[in-house]
Amino acid sequence: MTEQRGNWTSSAGFILAATGSAIGLGNLWKFPFITWENNGGAFVLVYLVCIAAVGLPIMMAELLIGRKTQQSAVGALKEAVGPAWGLVGLWGVLCGFTLLSYYTVIAGWSLYFFAKTAGWMVGGFPTGTSLGQVFTEQSANGGLQIALSLGFSVATVSVVYFGVQKGIEKIARLFLPVLFVILALLFMVSFAMDGSREALTFIFRPSFNELDGGSVLEALGHAFFTLSLGMGAMITYGSYIARNQSVVKASGIIVLLDTVIALVATVIMFTVIFTAGMQDQVGDTGTVGMLFISLPQLFFAEGIVPGGAVLAPLFYVLVALAALTSTMSLLEVVTSYIIDEHGIERGKATLACGGVVFLFTILAALSFGGADFASNLSAPGRLGDLLFAGKTSWFGMADHFVSNWMLPTGGLAITVAVGWFMTREATESELVDETVPGWFNYNTWRFFIRYISPAAVAAIVVAVLFFGVDFS
């Protein structure tokens, strides 16, 4: 079975693929917006603490389960921890399935805005265009939404179809460097803009009186999302790591890159917004607003972004690439489960999984006014309230359920499994070898994974249950 599954060709290939999974819409779409909503500074600091104290140890935990067992989420947890833990793996597969089904819709928007901005680059930005209207019209157009999502799904399926080496690793090796270059270019341009100082101050100067308990939990919840933790993606990617490749070093690099990219993206976006003096309007456009409503027009406005007309389509290429390297990891979680546990061959498994997920993507695609049955739902009763917090679209419900319930509970189960149900010897032998970097201390890690991480994650679950905090 091991030969059939394949391995990453090199440590660098693996690190790029895992970093690609981590860097995604979470970095470019969610993080800047929640930083904005929580008034920057102090929130960013808390987020960084969550990444280091909870994200990094759990990243190592997931990768080590994968590398140790060389199996996808369900089989890995069964073998490393015990048969009943397969259920936690199954919960992860379900989470990957659900997340993929609606993530694809937002990814599809990046294709639309690429096409739109490329058109404006060539033909000029039509004066008087309302970007709010452009956005609402495209998202309410059911046929268009299905077509865009289908395009993105086909891309995802095509990558996963070719497997770990010829599909996922190859695309990550090709696209991640492109992504880094585009981001670096935008970053440099942003430094030449007037608003950059103001943006940096907003992001990095903490003022703690603006921080409440809800913000702390939101930072923690986002740490899971952005690092692709809590649902088996990193277990699955870890299962393709060869025995001589270090889990610890790789975890450090993945977490660092993901964090740097989130901060860089935020600096770029805030610089544009401050330069344009748009700070009062951003809040009104909701989560989707910053990336798809406020930004597109600013690239074309006079005197804000130097070379903006050319950078705009490039920016949406960046969003699409970041999303693709994440969707392929989500589909891989589901597909590798079918391959490993049900013995189905990769090609067939990928097409089947991609197809079934797409049926749910259609619901998500029609959630923005495209069809009434997807846009206007209600979950009755107290349980409905608790699970979906009054969300009224399929998309809203799915996103709420994944971010608030599935990732935190999955994450909690994984920390408990690794910290309390695996022996010290079992975890130590995976983490500590001759390649282990000097900054790593096994006992410290074990303390974090046994006490700090589960306590922090339990705090999220309690917050959701008793205080109704919403991370989606």
Among 223, 330, 365, 431, binds ligand PHE (CB under 6 A): 330
316 contact partners, CB below 8 Å, separation of at least 6: 110, 111, 113, 114, 117
Q: For the chain, what's the residue count?
A: 472
Among the listed ranges 228-236, 248-256, 309-317, 355-363, the one in contact with ligand PHE (CB under 6 A) is 228-236
Q: What is the 3-state secondary structure (H, E, C) of the chain?
A: CHHHHCCCCCHHHHHHHHHHHHCCHHHHHHHHHHHHHCCCHHHHHHHHHHHHHHHHHHHHHHHHHHHHHCCCHHHHHHHHCCHHHHHHHHHHHHHHHHHHHHHHHHHHHHHHHHHHHHHHHHHCCCCCCCHHHHHHHHHHCHHHHHHHHHHHHHHHHHHHHCHHHHHHHHHHHHHHHHHHHHHHHHHHHHHCCCCHHHHHHHHHCCCHHHCCHHHHHHHHHHHHHHCCCCCCHHHHHHCCCCCCCCHHHHHHHHHHHHHHHHHHHHHHHHHHHHHHCCHHHHHHHHHHHHHHHHHHHHHHCCCCCCCHHHHHHHHHHHHHHHHHHHHHHHHHHHHHHHHHHHCCCHHHHHHHHHHHHHHHHHHHHCCCCCCHHHHCCCCCHHHHHHHHCCCCCHHHHHHHHHHHHHHHHHHHHHHHHHHHHCCHHHHHHHHCCCCCCCCCCHHHHHHHHHHHHHHHHHHHHHHHHHHCCCCC
> Among residues 7, 21, 110, 472, which is the contact residue for ligand PHE, using CB under 6 A?
21
CB of 241 to ligand PHE, least distance (A): 17
Shortest distance (Å) from residue 224 CB to ligand PHE:
8
69 near ligand PHE (CB under 6 A): no
Considering beta carbons, is residue 329 or 393 the nearer one to ligand PHE?
329
Binding of ligand PHE by 149 (CB under 6 A): no
C-beta closer to ligand PHE: residue 229 or 339? 229
CA distances from 72 to 58, 312, 338 (A): 17, 39, 9
Q: Are 27 and 186 in contact (CB under 8 A)?
A: no
Instruction: State the minimum distance, in angstroms, from the CB of residue 220 to ligand PHE.
Output: 15
Q: Which is nearer to ligand PHE, 20 or 57 (CB)?
A: 20
Q: Which stretch binds ligand PHE (CB under 6 A): 20-28, 106-114, 270-278, 289-297?
A: 20-28
**329 neighbors 233 (Cβ within 8 angstroms):** yes
Which member of 228, 294, 335, 336 binds ligand PHE (CB under 6 A)?
228
| Among 13, 20, 26, 289, interactor with ligand PHE by CB under 6 A | 26
Kindly state whether residue 414 participates in binding ligand PHE, applying the rule CB under 6 A. Answer: no
- Residue count at the site for ligand PHE (CB under 6 A)? 15
Among 121, 233, 416, 469, binds ligand PHE (CB under 6 A): 233
Interface with ligand PHE includes 329 (CB under 6 A)? yes
Applying CB under 6 A, among 94, 168, 176, 231 the residue interacting with ligand PHE is: 231
Report how far residue 126's alpha carbon sits from residue 4's, in angstroms, rounded to the nearest whole number.
54
Q: Which of 13, 17, 18, 24 binds ligand PHE (CB under 6 A)?
A: 24
- With respect to ligand PHE, which residue has the nearer C-beta, 231 or 363? 231
Give the nearer residue to ligand PHE in terms of CB position, either 91 or 274: 91
Taking the least distance from each CB to ligand PHE, the nearer of 26 and 66 is 26
* Angle at the Cα of 179 from the Cα atoms of 136 and 251, rounded to 5 degrees: 110
Q: Give the C-alpha separation, 215 to 50, whole Å.
A: 12
Minimum CB separation of residue 52 from ligand PHE in Å reads 17
State in angstroms the smallest separation of the CB of 228 from ligand PHE: 3
> Of these, 17, 22, 76, 456, which contacts ligand PHE (CB under 6 A)?
22
Q: Which residue, 131 or 290, is less far from ligand PHE as judged by CB?
A: 290
Instruction: Tell me how far apart the alpha carbons of residues 18 and 233 are, in angstroms, rounded to a whole number.
Output: 9
Span near ligand PHE by CB under 6 A; candidates 60-68, 171-179, 221-229, 447-455: 221-229
Site for ligand PHE in 98-137 (CB under 6 A): 99
- 226 binds ligand PHE per the rule CB under 6 A: yes
By beta-carbon proximity to ligand PHE, the closer residue of 228 and 367 is: 228
Contact pick of 16, 17, 18, 25 for ligand PHE (by CB under 6 A): 25
The pattern of x and - marking residues 287 through 326 that bind ligand PHE according to CB under 6 A reads ---------------------------------------x
Q: Of 371 and 402, which CB lies nearer to ligand PHE in the complex structure?
A: 402
Q: Is 225 in the site for ligand PHE (CB under 6 A)?
A: yes
* Residue 156 lies near ligand PHE (rule: CB under 6 A): no
- As a whole number of angstroms, the distance between CA 131 and CA 137 comes to 10
Least distance from ligand PHE to the Cβ atom of residue 207, Å: 27
Interface with ligand PHE by CB under 6 A: which residues?
21-22, 24-27, 99, 225-226, 228, 231, 233, 326, 329-330
